[in-house]
Chains A and B, each alone.
Chain A
């Protein structure tokens, strides 16, 4: 059974780069598309971007200039980098698997809280 686990710093300073990693266990990262989604405290969900291991990426236009998603197939993990962060980027960040047959996110990590503060 595929499971996802996010990790990374819980506190990032304004203007710096947020970096998170999602480890995929119970399955190969090469077998699916993977995504990052975030949720500001007490608010709704925002899709950040997705990738496929051969290099196909797609980002939310509202974040595209600051976002990068990359993969390390040898470690079965993928990463998110979000540059020039502000307090508006404070959120729970989730990694998730895209099921294109369902047009939906069928497996989610537990999420990791990132606070942007000096």
Chain B
């Protein structure tokens, strides 16, 4: 089973700052890596798929990069609505889907 590790666990930043979140896989997942945003009381929302492709209606301030085992989600300038928990998720042969433990982006 491929294990995903996310760092840091918590990121404390101010609006307007840049956020850099990391996701590391225990073995290569090529580019089969997605990022989700989850706000309290809401379902996760797909932000990035294929490591670097923004999902429908996702603002350009969100970007993803990486391949193989190391991936990054960058929020170029934090908006008030961006403070949330972010999960990475990989797709591989078996089991087909696993999620990382999440990174909380909170207001400093």
Which A residues form the contact surface with B (CB < 8 A)? 35, 44-47, 50, 58, 60-61, 94, 99, 102-106, 108-111
B62 at the binding interface (Cβ < 8 Å)? no
Pairwise interchain contact A102-B50, C-beta atoms closer than 8 A: yes
Which secondary structure dominates chain A's binding surface?
Answer: strand
B75 to chain A, nearest CB (A): 19
Given A45-B89, A102-B49, 14 more pairs with CB closer than 8 A: A35-B97, A44-B99, A47-B95, A47-B96, A47-B97, A60-B95, A99-B49, A102-B34, A102-B55, A103-B32, A104-B46, A104-B49, A105-B89, A108-B44
Number of A-B contacts (CB under 8 A): 60
Which B residues form the contact surface with A (CB < 8 A)? 1, 32, 34, 36, 42-46, 49-50, 53, 55-56, 87, 89, 91, 95-102
Question: Which of A61, A104, A105, A111 has its CB near the most chain B CB atoms (within 10 A)?
Answer: A104
- Given known contacts A46-B99, A47-B95, A61-B95, is B87 in contact with A106 (CB within 8 Å)? no
Pairwise interchain contact A111-B99, C-beta atoms closer than 8 A: no
A35→B50 CA distance, assembly (Å): 19
Pairwise interchain contact B46-A44, C-beta atoms closer than 8 A: no
Pairwise interchain contact A103-B99, C-beta atoms closer than 8 A: no
Pairwise interchain contact A106-B46, C-beta atoms closer than 8 A: yes
Instruction: Please name all residues of chain B whose beta carbon is closer than 8 Å to the beta carbon of A47 when the two chains form the complex.
Output: 95-99
A37 to chain B, nearest CB (A): 8
Q: In this complex, what residue of A is CB-closest to B51? A: A103
Q: In this complex, what residue of B is CB-closest to A6? A: B43
